[in-house]
Structure 1
C-alpha cells in the first residue's frame, strides 16, 4: 500500500481540509487556561465541536475513501463520520480503514507534555501522518 501517495493527496488536493482541521484545533485550544489543558475531555469535546461546525467531520468519510484510493486499495464498505472510521482523539483527528493492513491517517494537532495537552504541529506537513498497522 502506498502511504506516500496518501500523504501527497492530503497535502495536495485535500490541503484545505487539513488546514481547517488545524484551524479548529486553534479554536478549541483558545479556551484553555494558560494555553494548556490537563485532561483529555477538555481537548476532545471542544475539538469535536469545532470540527463538526466547520464541516470537517461531515467530509471525513469522503476524505478517507480518497486516501484508500490513493493508497491503491478499495474499501469493502462505505465509511461513516463515526468510530471506527473517524475518531476525534486527544491528539487530533484519526481516520482509519481496515484493508489488508490497517490504514491510519492522522491530523495530529495536540501533544501531551509534562501532564498537560498543548497545541502542536502548526502546518499541514507537520500535522499529517500516514501509517500502516
Structure 2
C-alpha cells in the first residue's frame, strides 16, 4: 500500500509541475526585493508571495492541486476548495494546502522559504528571520498525512 503522503507528493510533482515551478520563480522574485539574504518582515514573505502568485494566476490554481492530491490518496473533498483558509494559506514557508478527512489530514507545503528563529543562531537577535529556501520542485514539495 502506497503511503498517502507519498502519493499526494508524487501527484503534485507529476501533474502540477508548472504550478510548482511558478511558485518557485515568484519566491525568487520576492527574495530579490529584500535588503540582503534574509528579512525580518513576515509580510515581505507570505503576503508578498501571495500577491505575486495572485498576479500570475497561480494562487487560484492551488485549490485544484489540493483536490487532485485528495483524489490521489483516495479521498474527495466534501466541498470544492477555495483559494483561502482553511484550504489554501500563505505561510512564512510558502503556500500550504490542507484537507481533513475522517482518517486523517492531508497537508501539502510548497516550501520556498526557511524560518530562522533567534535561538537557532547567534547571528540574529530578536524575532525570526526569513530566507529563500528550497529551489527545486523535488526539494520544495512536502506532504504529510496524519
Q: Given the two structures, how large is their TM-score scaled by the length of structure 1?
A: 0.95
CA–CA distance in 2 between the matches of 1:67 and 1:60?
Answer: 11
Deviations 1:70-112 (A, max 9, x none): 1111111111000110000011000000112111000001012
Give the corresponding residue for 2:105: 102
Q: C-alpha root-mean-square deviation of aligned residues, in Å?
A: 1.2
CA–CA distance in 1 between the matches of 2:46 and 2:4?
Answer: 30
In the comparison of the two structures, how many residue pairs are matched?
A: 133
Displaced runs of 4 or more, over 4 A? none
Alpha-carbon deviation of 1:39? 2.4
- Where do 5+ consecutive residues of structure 2 fail to align? 117-123
Q: How do 1:1-133 and structure 2 match up within 5 A? A: 2-100=4-102, 101-113=104-116, 114=124, 115-133=128-146
Structure with greater Cα Rg: 2
- Where do 5+ consecutive residues of structure 1 fail to align? none
CA–CA distance in 1 between the matches of 2:13 and 2:115?
Answer: 25
Alpha-carbon deviation of 1:40? 1.2
Q: Given the two structures, how large is their TM-score scaled by the length of structure 2?
A: 0.86
